[in-house]
Amino acid sequence: MSSSVEAARTALLRAGSVAVLTGAGVSAESGIPTFRSNGGYWRTHRFEDLATPQGFARDPKFVWEWYEERRRSIASATPNAGHAALVELERRVRRFTLNTQNMDGLHDLAGSKNIVKLHGDIWVLRCTRCRRERVDRTVLRELPPYCECGGMLRPGVVWFGEMLPEGAMERASDAVHNADVVIVAGTSARVYPAAGLIPPAMERGTAAIEINPEATDFSSDVTFSLRGPSAEILPMLIMDGGNYGS
């Protein structure tokens, strides 16, 4: 395992196909709290109450108040230099897939195109009765909100114990399987099935670059473990010109 940004950049420059897995840490420098690090949501909130179908069934208003508070704070956040660096990488590499566990929409806002949203999208509202979905970025005045069909709406995110959006894992696994380089940025890699994308790549010998200020369970097994905030490291890795896939 190497900690050299320079060596990781050289490996990346050779890649014709890149798959990325991001987590909450990528949005930390946009002012959005993570889940498990210091100041993370799950340090002070019970995920069982806020991020499970059972919690929602027990008290939908309580769950919605938390999501609405998050929606309001995310609405005033802007993408950071790490998000921008991934947009640049997508422009320059032949094949690129951005698999994200983030539901904040900042990768879209930055301009990333080929995104697989493994955990859904906080800006999507889904009807619990007719299942219709719509994107809604407005402030929700009545909580819980209701659909025109009379059914209660829920946040379009994935909760613990739920299936991932149809086809999402297949797309993500395919991208990782076909990648020359895999980048894992800003995730504790503790939540499955998303975290399960990493080991097969390493078993195949695909170069893996991890970016995280802290060590994770995978840090000693990846090819490059770059310690630091993604808003600093991703631009160092990507912005410096060069032709990819050569």
Residues in contact with ligand OAD by the rule CB under 6 A? 23-25, 28-29, 34-37, 40, 47, 51, 101, 119, 158-160, 186-188, 190-191, 212-214, 216, 229-230
User: Cβ-closest residue to ligand OAD?
Assistant: 25
Residue type, 136: D
Nearer to ligand OAD, 213 or 245 (CB): 213
Distance CA 199, CA 246 (A): 26
Amino acid at 8: A
Least Cβ distance, residue 160 to ligand OAD (angstroms): 6
Q: What is the DSSP letter of 163?
A: P
Q: How far is the CB of 183 from ligand OAD (least distance, A)?
A: 12
| Residue in the structure block whose two tokens are 């059972």 | 54
Q: Is the CB of 135 or the CB of 215 nearer to ligand OAD?
A: 215
Of 173, 179, 168, 186, nearest to 81 (Cα)? 186
Q: Closest approach of Cβ 80 to ligand OAD, in Å? A: 9
Q: Minimal CA–CA distance to 140: which of 157, 153, 129? A: 153
Name, in order, each residue with C-beta under 8 angstroms of 142's C-beta and a sequence gap of 6 or more: none
Set 45, 83, 107, 119: catalytic member: 119
Q: Cβ of residue 243: shortest distance to ligand OAD, in angstroms?
A: 27
| Catalytic residue flag (residue 119) | yes
- In the complex with ligand OAD, the residue whose CB is nearer, 158 or 181, is 158
The structure tokens 């399960």 sit at: 196
Residues labelled as active-site residues: 119
